[in-house]
Amino acid sequence: MRWNLVYSIVVIVVLGIIWIFPVYSLILGSIKSLSEVMNTPIYVPPKQVDLTTIAEVANELKIPLANTAIVVIPVAVLSTIFGMLAAYAIIRRQSKISDTLMLLVAIATYTPYQALLVPFVQIVRSFGLYNTLPGIALGFLIYYTPMAALLMVIFMSVIPRDLIEAAVVDGAGEFSIFRRVVLPVLGPGIVSTLIFILIVSWNNFFIPLILTRGYNKFITLKIFSYVGQSGTFYNRMFAAALVGSLPPLIIFIFLGRYFMKGLMALGTGTKA
């Protein structure tokens, strides 16, 4: 066997174990009975599968899960739509104004939103939305709309200009070009943006933390609440973490290539 394959297999296997170990423990830990949790390390497989904890925790997570879905799905859809519209404007008009707006969009995307804590709270409060689901959604939209716009510009910039201009010559107006030509051609780019924002907003902890009180309005807050209250019963924490991560994890497993495309676009500024 050639040495480079040996290297490759060694690296992938060794690091692969480190990469899989936490999730492996997470799954095993959440299906252990209480007595095994008390007596065995996290990585020891249970002698008997005990689903009571998972069921119990899942029941406790119902409301935060529903709340999160209510916030995150509209946020992903809206920011993608707003981003698409903005990106179309930028692609269809090349001037100083659109360049400047584009630069501002890019800077906004890469600016740490955590630094905007105080004003975020202030803005959401001034709309009377503090400690509400729409408040969390507003916080998300402020941050994820520019990001969606940037992603969409990146995906749109590879559409051949002729495709759009052919529609212009044929007499189509801007809305009709957008709807009939750009949107259908953009397909996978839209899915990437949607999936990407869906996953990152589902996983966001900071924005719901600062915009709400208590733990029930968002899933990451709820998961976090188990850290304090479960003591050494790691099965409860693990069950909460597992159940709370299932939606993004399942999306990642089945539609991971779209998430990767989104990451890649944000990273390199080009369509992978």
Partner 1 sequence: MVDVRLRGLVKRFGKTIALRGIDLDIRDGEFIVLLGPSGCGKTTTLRIIAGLEKPDEGRVLFGEKDVTYLPPKDRNVSMVFQSYAVWPHMKVRDNIAFPLKIRGVPQEEIDKRVKWAAELLQIDELLDRYPHQLSGGQRQRVAVARAIVIEPDVLLMDEPLSNLDALLRVKMRSELKKLQRRIGVTTIYVTHDQVEAMTMGDRIAVMNAGKIQQVGTPEEIYLKPANTFVAGFVGSPQMNFFDATVKLDGEKLLDAGEFTISLTGDLAAALKDYNNKTVIVGIRPEYMYPRELAPKNMIGPEIKGVIDFVEALGSDTIIHLKVGNKHLVIKISGSHHYRIGEELTVIFGLDKIHIFDKNTGRAII
Partner 2 sequence: MQMSLKKFFIFFLPALIFGALLYYGVFWNIYIALTNYSLLHPVPEFTGLYSFMVLFNDYEFQMAFERTMLWVAVLVVLGNIMGLLIATAIFQLESPRLRNALTAFFVYPMSLSMIVVGIMWRWIFDPYKGIDVILKGLGIGSIDWLTGYNAFWSLSLVSVWVYAGFSAMLYLAAFYNVDRSIIESAMVDGADTFTIMTRIVIPNSRQGLLISTIFLALFAIQMFALPYAVLFLNPFTETMVMYVYNKFVSQYFFLASAAAIIIIVVSAFIVIPYAMYGLKKWIVRR
Q: How far is the CB of 162 from partner 1 (least distance, A)?
A: 4
Cβ proximity to partner 1, 93 vs 213, nearer residue? 93
43 binds partner 2 (CB under 8 A): yes
Tell me the C-alpha distance between 59 and 61, whole Å. 5
CB-wise, 13 or 169, nearer to partner 1?
169
User: Per-residue x/- mask for partner 2, residues 152 to 191, rule CB under 8 A?
Assistant: -xx--x---x---x--x-----x---x-------------
What does 27 bind: partner 1, partner 2, none (CB cut-off 5 to 8 Å by kind)?
none
Site for partner 2 in 8-27 (CB under 8 A): 8, 11-12, 15-16, 18-19, 21-23, 25-26
User: Using an 8 Å Cβ cutoff, are 82 and 144 in contact?
Assistant: no
Binding-site size for partner 2 (CB under 8 A) equals: 107
User: Counting contacts by CB under 8 A, is residue 185 touching partner 1?
Assistant: yes
The answer to whether 10 contacts partner 1 (rule: CB under 8 A) is no
Is residue 170 near partner 1 by the rule CB under 8 A?
A: yes
Three-class DSSP labels, the chain: CCHHHHHHHHHHHHHHHHHHHHHHHHHHHHCCCHHHHHHCCCCCCCCCCCCHHHHHHHHHHHHHHHHHHHHHHHHHHHHHHHHHHHHHHHHHCCCHHHHHHHHHHHHHHHCCHHHHHHHHHHHHHHCCCCCCHHHHHHHHHHHHHHHHHHHHHHHHCCCCHHHHHHHHHCCCCHHHHHHHHHHHHHHHHHHHHHHHHHHHHHCCCHHHHHHCCCCCCCHHHHHHHHHHHCCCCHHHHHHHHHHHHHHHHHHHHHHHHHHHHHHHHHHHCCCC
Is residue 184 close enough to count as binding partner 1 by CB under 8 A? Answer: yes
Q: Which stretch binds partner 1 (CB under 8 A): 8-16, 17-25, 146-154, 180-188?
A: 180-188
CB of 93 to partner 1, least distance (A): 13
Residues in CB range of 100: below 8 A, 6 or more apart? none
Residues 81 to 110 in contact with partner 2, rule: CB under 8 A: 81-83, 85-86, 88-90, 92-95, 97-99, 101-108, 110
Taking the complex as a whole, the smallest distance from the CB of residue 187 to partner 2 amounts, in Å, to 19
Least Å distance between CB 179 and partner 1?
A: 12
The residues of the shown chain that bind partner 1, judged by CB under 8 A, are 160, 162-163, 165-173, 176, 180-181, 184-185, 187
